[in-house]
Structure 1
């Protein structure tokens, strides 16, 4: 069995916490500056960095099984969400080949795995530049939307390819070589950019549409241009490098293990939030400073809870069905 590098597990668990916090913050962006600040800050790096890590561990062996696994998890999420809506008497929305919600990530990973295999013998540097240029101009195409996850596929694919080009061990060597310098520069950069995000929020907040990777509405076409997309790419890379520089390399009790279960958190966290929301009024809780802090502590507790073994299913069962080697019986 391949030895795991604890740094990547530590980073993944931090990112999944940010994901849950970001989804919680989104619910109150219309009434809270803090929520808008958190939403903007988190979305500026968390999904591109997750996708980079996925590319980093891309493997050609069993790539067909990986594609099937991602698609299976994505559709399982869709059906689970529909079942939950039915149980709580909510309006039911099911789109087979389109999604703006959480399942999109699984389908995009399936597409990236296929593309990486089809293009593995091509010049990856050229491909990254080509997709960056393409992402800069799809803003002007009103036909690009959530159907077939096309917008996010194009926008985030350069990060997956960057991961394919790099190697996990090489990244770790670079981090160790510039350990102190990296932490100092990362701390300075994050302090400055988060200061600007908070105190110049009205100037930066419109970029949230570009950070999500989703297509913008026709009414917003005149608000963005290719330079805005390039700016977002640059900011995302700097934010991601800073986060990577600050995350510890050593094994962290609990965190390093929980970092292996991020797909469980991805699968269950939104349904769990909706269930809790039927018993607790998040809006009333959020109106008080202590309640606001408690609200985001809930995100951390949810991430820890869903990283426990009991939540391995049905993901573990699906994985076993797909990756178990079929025995061939000879006569």
Structure 2
């Protein structure tokens, strides 16, 4: 069956925003505009990505699924955790040596993605609404537990799980309802309203959107659960609003939607190099546009066939593309 271009187009946009968000992160404290843009992106890009991951988890439970999933996610996690530790040491990053279960960079996503599939074993036995309610309660509750944080990606696993579960329960026809004209009109108002709100509330702690810290660390011990519930509502509205405007037709970039894992795992080497050696300086809106261009080039480069061929043994733990290349010669 032909892939639905909508989902690949969405994945391309979201992986670009992941890269762009990481590129501009060092400059958010020096500019209200960049801070607003960064926070605005983080209200939806990971929730939307996780939602799509859940949407494509509908085959969970088939024979060999868990073994294949461990091979696809846990083995690359261990490999890249070691590679990133070595790389951080080479570029002089102080926290290069960490526990194997304290994820470097964005590797938390691999552990959490595996864990979300495991949680489905229990949650898919519940009615959809009940399972979502329980998942949200878990996501709110873990914030009160100071011991749950970055290690094993436990905090993010529970906090982001409702988005994954929502994607699992929804069908394609439900998602396509976002393409209605009325929804698209409302979505624009939502995106603008949230952007304006962020601009005029610059003290918002972006840690709420990263989901890796307890309420105590975020400075809201008593009412942290209420704040997280508001974050859930905001992120869900923002993710839906952005997805409403994703093109449904194939274009020259659609194919890249099949390669987002490569970009996700590899872009950290480039971004960390930029940060270690202060490659860029930002002093005007044109500089931000330039960084968006750099981010696009990173996505294109890491999605290219040569990169896929060379990195496939590490990321997918097989050498299919490399064997094809050798045979072609």
**Structure 2 length normalisation: TM-score?**
0.87
| Aligned 1:1-331 pairs, distance under 5 A | 2-58=1-57, 59-60=59-60, 61=62, 62-64=64-66, 65-91=68-94, 92-99=96-103, 101-172=105-176, 174-176=177-179, 178=180, 180-202=181-203, 205-206=204-205, 208-216=206-214, 218-219=216-217, 220-222=219-221, 224-253=223-252, 255-276=253-274, 281-282=279-280, 285-312=281-308, 313-315=310-312, 318-319=315-316, 321=318
Please identify runs of 4+ aligned residues in structure 1 that moved more than 6 A: none
135 and 318 in structure 1: CA distance in 2 versus 1, 3 angstrom threshold: closer
Q: Is the 8 A contact 2:73 2:114 kept in 1?
A: yes
Structure 1 pair 275–119 and aligned structure 2 pair: CA distance change class (3 A): same
CA contact (8 A) 1:112 1:157 kept: yes
Segments of structure 1 that go 5 or more residues without pairing to the other structure are 324-331
Output the CA distance in 2 between the equivalents of 1:223 and 1:120.
Answer: 32
- Residues 187 and 115 (structure 1), Cα distance of their counterparts in 2 relative to 1, 3 Å cut: same
Alignment deviations for residues 250-273 of structure 1 (CA, whole Å, 9 cap, x no partner): 1111x1011111111101111012
For 1:232-291, what per-residue CA distance to the aligned partner results, in whole angstroms no more than 9, with x for missing partners?
1000111011001111111111x1011111111101111012335566632xx2134433
Shift of 1:143: 1.1
Once the two structures are TM-superposed, the CA of residue 69 in structure 1 deviates from its matched residue by 1.1
2:105–2:268 Cα contact (<8 Å) kept: no
Contact 1:56 1:165 in 2 (8 A): yes
CA contact (8 A) 1:7 1:248 kept: yes
Alpha-carbon spacing, 1:100–1:306, altered in 2? closer, same or farther (3 Å): closer
Please say which of residues 66-75 and 269-278 is displaced more in the overlay.
269-278
How many pairs does the alignment contain?
Answer: 313
Distance 1:138 1:114 in 2: 18
Contact 1:265 1:307 (8 Å CA) reproduced: yes
Say what the alpha-carbon RMSD is for the aligned residues: 2.3
Distance 1:287 1:300, change over 3 A: same
Farther off after superposition, 182-191 or 235-244: 182-191
